[in-house]
Amino acid sequence: MKQSLALAVLMASGVALAAAAQTPAEPAGAAPATTTTAAAPAGPPKIAVIAFQVAVGQTNEFQRNFADLQKKYDPKRQQLKALNDDVDKLTKDLQTQGDKLSDAERATRAKQIDDKKKQLQREGEDASNDFQNEMQEMYQGLASKVYDVLSNYAQQHGFTLVLDIAQQQTPVLYAVESTNITKPIIDAYNTKSGVPAPPPGATPAAPTPGPTAPKAAPRIPPAGH
C-alpha cells in the first residue's frame, strides 16, 4: 500500500520515467545507423559529441511541456494520496478497536481495508503507466525536432561524425570539452522554437528522458503512437 502511494507520488516528479531509461527503446520509425548522411567535406574528420537525451530534456519546450504534464496529473496524485490516507486511518482504527468489535465487524472492516488497498494499487499503477506513456510520447516528438536542429548544426559546422555520449554503450571514453555540442544544440533549438525559459524555481527540473535518441542517420520523422 505504501509502495503504491510512493509510485504515484514519484509519478508526478518523473522518477517513473527515469526508471524506464534502464531499458531504452528505439523511437518508432528510427532508421538504422549509417556511417554518413551527406558527402563528407574534404580534409580531416571533424568529430563532436552530444548528450542527446540531456539536450532534449533541457530545452525550454520540454521543460514547459513537463510542467504542464505535472499539472495534468496532480489531481490524480492528490486523489491517490487521499485514498492512501483513508486506508491508513481505517487500518489504525481496526488495530486500536479490534478487541472491542465482534468477529463479523472485524471481518467487514478488514475486507473494506483490503478492497481499498487493491483499489490504491490498481489506480496507482494505471496512473503511473499513463504518465510514463505520455512522457515518452512527448519526448519522442520533441527528440525528432531536436535531431533536425542537430543535423543542420553539424552540417553548418563541418562535423563529419556526432557521437551520443548519453548512450550506455557509447564508444566514447574521452573527449575534450570543446567537442561537446550539447549546450549549443540546446541554445539553437530554444532559439528556433521561440519558447521562453521558465522562471527560475517556477517548476521542478524535468528528469532526463528515458527513450533513446535518434542515431546519426537520415531525417527521422516524428514517432507515431
Q: State which H helix or E strand residue 77 sits in.
A: helix 60-97
Q: Report CA-CA distances (Å) from 184 to 38, 145, 153, 169, 191.
A: 21, 15, 9, 24, 10
Q: Give the separation between CA 178 and CA 143, rounded to whole angstroms.
A: 23
Q: What pLDDT is recorded for position 173? A: 83
Cα distance from N-terminal residue to C-terminal residue, the chain:
32
Read off the pLDDT of residues 143-173 as tens digits, 9 standing for 90 and up. 999 999 999 999 999 999 999 998 878 788 8
Give the confidence band of 31 by pLDDT, cuts at 50, 70, 90.
Answer: very low
For 124, the grid coordinates are 496507482
Q: What pLDDT is recorded for position 25? A: 36
Q: What pLDDT is recorded for position 22? A: 32
Q: Give the separation between CA 10 and CA 16, rounded to whole angstroms.
A: 6
Residue type, 184: P
pTM across the whole model: 0.69
Mapping DSSP to helix (H, G, I), strand (E, B) and coil, where does residue 113 land?
Answer: helix
Q: Please determine, for residue 117, whether its predicted confidence score (pLDDT) is greater than 50.
A: yes
Q: Give me the mean pLDDT over the 34-41 stretch.
A: 47
Q: Give me the mean pLDDT over the 32-45 stretch.
A: 53
